Structure 1
Amino acid sequence: MRSLILAALLTGAALPALAQGAAPADTKAKTDDLEKLQGFQSTNTQPAPEIPQTGRRADAIRKTLSKIKLPDGFKIDLYAVVPDARALAVGPNAGVVFVGTRKSKVYTLTDRDKDRVADEVRAFAPGIDFKIPNGVCFSRDGVLTIVEQNRVLAFPAAEFFYENPDVAAGVLVKQGELIPASEESFNHTARVCRVGPDGKTYIALGQPYNVPAPSKMDLYKKWGIGGIVRLDADGKNREVYATGIRNSVGMDFAPDKSLWFTDNQVDGMGDDTPPGELNRATKAGQTFGFPWYGGGLVRTAEYKDQTPPADAVPPMADLPPHAADLGMTFYNGKQFPDAYKGGIFIAEHGSWNRTQPIGARVMFAKLGADGKVESVKPFAEGWLTGDGEYLGRPVDVAVLLDGSLLVSDDAAGAVYRISYEK
């Protein structure tokens, strides 16, 4: 289906029919814009203004970066000033970076002179009324998927046509049908996505509670809330891929095609329990223990008298309690030393539910030849001061085409670039 969408774009044909639906009156104008974009019609939307890349804010961010500790040979620089920067998607052809947010915009970062610093930052598709467009991911053939709180959109050849405010768009899952509207919440609404080796789009759906009531379990299992769902490239044939997940905000496919993901675990159980999780799904239908387990093998008070599923898959690694491990990526680049190749970089957003805060760093999980996690250690740290002040809060990590590592930070409003020189 992605190839059909792209072919339609390049030939000027109509986009394949994708799921659509009526919108409330107060969003009618924006809905009309989206419908026009689906038919390659102009919306007369003006280009979004550029985000300034110089001045006091950029200088302050660079001052913070001078305090970040990295292994020998590595350095960190400001790649772009990006308000509310969260999930990252690097275009597979031109290397344009798309950045999701937990607000109402998706941004594009363009490095025209290839000096590894973004020259231009603008909002993408400014005529579309996005709602929490956190999830961004590319297919290998260049189709961008944006997953909002309760809608999924597709943009063929986005990194070649993004500079025009009018871009070809398709609706994969219409508004209100990713989850039931009754389950929309302000909590755990930042979706993430990945396009798998099978061409399907995988979407993590965090459930909105610290621990959900038993009365919610059947509904959530049916919809994949507190789990991962997958769809065909055209949005059809939705199925629940994995369950028993509290709130995953980071996932990536390993070279062996298994899906690894982080999971934020139950709050309010103490500073040092339960641990966060790094998990691995090897097939459809697996469950990962929540809400019977609050994290790792720690039982929740709410479900302590119930028997957990016998087939619950344990984590590949326990992560520091309440550090809020979010985005993750396998390192598939060639720039870093061999010790990092095939390992996993993880962005820790930093704790809120601890008397002594931890996190706000980038971790590295080293894998052994057997595919198991040998260690998880800090790679880049210094955004959390000894006084407990956050100078930044990493959210996501992505490998740039040159093999360097991008890190987003929604507190500082920035994207950083970590590079290595021998």
Structure 2
Amino acid sequence: MPIRPSGPLSAALCATCLLAACGDSALLPEGAGIGPSPTLPAPNKTLIPTVHIAPAKGWRDGSMPQPVAGTVVTKFAEGLAHPRWAYVLPNGDVLIAESDAPPKGDEAQGGGIKGWVQNLVMKRAGSKVPSADRITLLRDADGDGVAETRKVFLEKLSSPFGMVLVGNDLFVANADALVKFPYQEGATSIAAPATKVIDLPAGINHHWTKNVIASADGSRLYVTVGSNSNVGEKGMDQEEGRAAIWEVERTTGIHRIFASGLRNPNGMGWEPTTGALWTVVNERDELGSDLVPDYLTSVKDGGFYGWPYSYWGQNVDQRIQPARPELVAKAIKPDYGLGNHVAPLGMAFATGSRLPAQFANGVFIGEHGSWNRKPRSGYKVVFVPFANGMPTGQPIDVLTGFVDSEGNASGRPVGVAIDKNGGLLVADDVGNTIWRVAAIK
């Protein structure tokens, strides 16, 4: 029996209608929205947003994702609880954030049909159980590509995501605060309480994931904070400090907005030849299957990247009132489109990778996959080649096969990281597995 909204909408709307996209169809090929100058069609706003997510089912009958030619994929660890992020410590231990969204009530999702659609998306995406709120340590002491040691490293956190070690301090980006813990090399757990560095915007939280990395000298931390809405519909007063990357002085906690207008930045990294900060960003929804491309971009100090007033530079979003032409005029166009609604979350530059030569210079990106595009996009790990410090050419598929022949999600990639032995680790939050991609010996 189909699920229907209650109240006066029930006679006019149904889940079948929603899942069929209610008139929205892809205007461009699946690979559209990719590259430094992607084609941007006119907005195609419909009464009801497209819902075309791959329902979360998990890996069945021994199935696995498919690695690119010249590589092999193995299970580094399995049986985890919604693993979202991976961080490799200097001694080779791997920390995994097992985490999901903080509790959300009806108010957090919004009322009416939009709130009902968002709840439907969450249900089909597989967000059904409370967040594990822990970080697990995995150790592969013999270097065979499979972790033989698994320990609860930190627990009773608050929807943790990003992690970074600076000296003997391990920083963790919770959904509501940046905190730190004392770390000793080789430790398999930390019992000491957290020390809060700074509070982060939380509460009613449209985008809850927070990531953190450190500057080369360790003096500053960079923290991603996503928006609290799609395009400011909750009021811009609810977006204070959001849709931004913060710069935080490590020792004092003094912080400022480093860059803004980034709807939902997640993965970050330092480009190895230029030292520039790069990030991947989830762009806005409800303008059709082919708007707006998610992107990979360098991040300029003081830069404004358009959200919510414009997209891909000076393309004005007419939904935002009052307009802010003075902000649109200074909006920076992103460096590289990753495709429409691919949902990039994880990113890792290839430094230390021992994959085949074509993956020597560039960045690996975990694309969690679309919920509102027909046909679906993302649901894979790609590699974007770089030359002279900038992306070049087309993305290369590295790990695919996350959606089965029936349209179900066997897995969904999130965080990616290069391990101590040069393999690529991929956190799969539907398959509850950490995959490892390595060159065939």
User: Per the alignment, do residues 146 and 253 of structure 1 end up closer, same or farther by CA in structure 2, a change over 3 Å counting?
Assistant: same
Deviation readout 1:196-240 (Å, 9 max, x if unpaired): 2142111000011011149526x745x3x1100021222522111
Q: TM-score by structure 2 length?
A: 0.73
Counterpart contact for 2:68–2:398, Cα < 8 Å: yes
Structure 1 unaligned residues grouped into runs of 5+: 1-58
The one-letter code sitting in structure 1 at the alignment partner of 2:94 is V
SS of equivalent residue, structure 2 residue 197: strand
Aligned residue in 2 for 1:216: 236
Deviation readout 1:8-38 (Å, 9 max, x if unpaired): xxxxxxxxxxxxxxxxxxxxxxxxxxxxxxx
Deviation at 1:334, TM superposition (A): 4.5
Deviation readout 1:94-114 (Å, 9 max, x if unpaired): 433343522212211122333
Aligned residue in 2 for 1:263: 281
Taking the aligned partners of 1:108 and 1:147, their CA distance within structure 2 comes to 17
Point out which structure has higher relative CO (alpha carbons under 8 A, 6+ apart): 2
Following superposition of structure 1 onto structure 2, how do residues 20-419 of structure 1 map, counting pairs within 5 Å? Answer: 60=59, 63-65=62-64, 68-81=65-78, 82-102=80-100, 103=131, 104-126=133-155, 129-139=156-166, 141=167, 143-163=169-189, 166-167=191-192, 169-173=194-198, 177-179=199-201, 184-199=203-218, 200-213=220-233, 215-216=235-236, 220=239, 223=241, 225-255=242-272, 256-282=274-300, 284-294=301-311, 298-303=315-320, 305-307=323-325, 308-369=327-388, 371-419=390-438
Deviation readout 1:75-97 (Å, 9 max, x if unpaired): 11100122110111100124333
Q: CA RMSD in A?
A: 2.4
Taking the aligned partners of 1:334 and 1:350, their CA distance within structure 2 comes to 24
Deviation readout 1:244-270 (Å, 9 max, x if unpaired): 010112111111221111111111111
SS of equivalent residue, structure 2 residue 264: coil
User: Per the alignment, do residues 114 and 372 of structure 1 end up closer, same or farther by CA in structure 2, a change over 3 Å counting?
Assistant: closer
SS of equivalent residue, structure 1 residue 385: coil
Structure 2 unaligned residues grouped into runs of 5+: 1-57, 101-130
Counterpart contact for 1:368–1:374, Cα < 8 Å: no
Counterpart contact for 1:326–1:349, Cα < 8 Å: yes
Deviation at 1:390, TM superposition (A): 0.7
Deviation readout 1:337-373 (Å, 9 max, x if unpaired): 3321230000010111123222210011011235243
User: Per the alignment, do residues 242 and 409 of structure 1 end up closer, same or farther by CA in structure 2, a change over 3 Å counting?
Assistant: same
User: Per the alignment, do residues 100 and 228 of structure 1 end up closer, same or farther by CA in structure 2, a change over 3 Å counting?
Assistant: farther
Aligned residue in 1 for 2:54: none
Counterpart contact for 1:367–1:375, Cα < 8 Å: no
Aligned residue in 2 for 1:34: none
Counterpart contact for 2:163–2:171, Cα < 8 Å: yes
Taking the aligned partners of 1:310 and 1:386, their CA distance within structure 2 comes to 46
SS of equivalent residue, structure 2 residue 186: helix
Taking the aligned partners of 1:161 and 1:168, their CA distance within structure 2 comes to 15
Deviation at 1:336, TM superposition (A): 1.9
Deviation at 1:312, TM superposition (A): 1.8
Deviation at 1:395, TM superposition (A): 0.4
User: Per the alignment, do residues 296 and 62 of structure 1 end up closer, same or farther by CA in structure 2, a change over 3 Å counting?
Assistant: farther
The one-letter code sitting in structure 2 at the alignment partner of 1:369 is N
The one-letter code sitting in structure 1 at the alignment partner of 2:170 is L
Taking the aligned partners of 2:135 and 2:60, their CA distance within structure 1 comes to 21
Deviation at 1:293, TM superposition (A): 2.4
Counterpart contact for 1:100–1:136, Cα < 8 Å: no
Taking the aligned partners of 1:295 and 1:64, their CA distance within structure 2 comes to 38
Counterpart contact for 1:144–1:158, Cα < 8 Å: no
Aligned residue in 1 for 2:106: none
Taking the aligned partners of 2:235 and 2:59, their CA distance within structure 1 comes to 49
Q: TM-score by structure 1 length?
A: 0.76
Taking the aligned partners of 1:96 and 1:326, their CA distance within structure 2 comes to 18
Counterpart contact for 1:316–1:373, Cα < 8 Å: no
User: Per the alignment, do residues 306 and 395 of structure 1 end up closer, same or farther by CA in structure 2, a change over 3 Å counting?
Assistant: same
Taking the aligned partners of 1:146 and 1:62, their CA distance within structure 2 comes to 36
Aligned residue in 2 for 1:12: none
SS of equivalent residue, structure 2 residue 164: strand
The one-letter code sitting in structure 2 at the alignment partner of 1:243 is S
